[in-house]
């Protein structure tokens, strides 16, 4: 599998063409599966987040084509009827494995708003535990997702103010704990990446002193 860094080589021409075919296929699948869904407490199509994650990973020199495709599909198993079996058939076992890493276990998924609030801490602790032993590729997918969320949060705070925090299933301090804990984990393996450097700065901008 190639990486975005390979684009500068002669051999990369075939990789890029093939990879963009897979990227387009993954985008088509994500757009179909997420059709009608919107971002939390907004009218923004959910696919805006999908495109943002794709952009972040495509701009990361060491992101493999499987990582980019998995980033595009990262929420399909959790939030749509799309099956892991179908994903493996269409995109391969590596993509399926990366997406399954980014997916909350079925037993931990909450349905009602009250249940989401009650289980928020345990669900985030599960993500943190998994991230501590994750591969670089797994962390890249997770980091791109979280960075995209942070960027959206930054815009929401600028336009709506502190009332934004009322839309979350946990208090601001708990959310800051989650993103800063992940920052420590991401920094161990991804400190040299473009997206980590942006994430590192944005955590401080969004959460302020509590982020440190």
Catalytic residue set? 78-79
Say if residue 98 is exposed, middle or buried (CB neighbours under 10 Å; 0-12, 13-18, 19+).
buried
Provide the phi-psi class of 2: left if phi over 0, else alpha when psi is between -120 and 50, else beta: beta
Distance CA 49, CA 75 (A): 10
User: Distance of alpha carbon 30 from its chain centroid, rounded?
Assistant: 13
The three-point CA angle 80-86-87 to 5° equals: 75
Cα Rg of the chain (Å, integer): 17
Give the DSSP H or E segment for 139. helix 136-160
- Show the tokens assigned to 56: 């972040």
């Amino acid at each position: 599998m190639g990486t975005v860094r390979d684009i500068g080589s002669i051999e990369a021409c075939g990789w890029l063409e093939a990879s963009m075919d897979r990227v387009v296929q993954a985008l088509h699948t994500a757009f179909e599966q997420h059709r009608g869904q919107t971002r939390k407490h907004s009218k923004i199509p959910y696919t805006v987040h999908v495109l943002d994650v794709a952009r972040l990973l495509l701009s990361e020199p060491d992101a493999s084509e499987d990582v980019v495709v998995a980033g595009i599909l990262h929420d399909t198993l959790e939030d749509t009827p799309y099956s892991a079996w179908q994903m493996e058939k269409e995109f391969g076992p590596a993509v399926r494995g990366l997406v399954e890493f980014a997916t909350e276990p079925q037993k931990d998924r909450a349905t009602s708003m009250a249940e989401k609030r009650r289980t928020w801490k345990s669900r985030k602790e599960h993500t943190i535990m998994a991230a501590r032993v994750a591969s670089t590729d797994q962390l890249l997918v997770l980091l791109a997702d979280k960075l995209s969320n942070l960027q959206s949060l930054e815009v929401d705070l600028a336009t709506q103010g502190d009332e934004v925090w009322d839309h979350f299933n946990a208090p601001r301090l708990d959310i800051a704990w989650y993103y800063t804990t992940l920052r420590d984990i991401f920094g161990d393996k991804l400190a040299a990446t473009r997206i980590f450097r942006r994430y590192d700065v944005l955590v401080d901008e969004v959460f302020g002193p509590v982020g440190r």
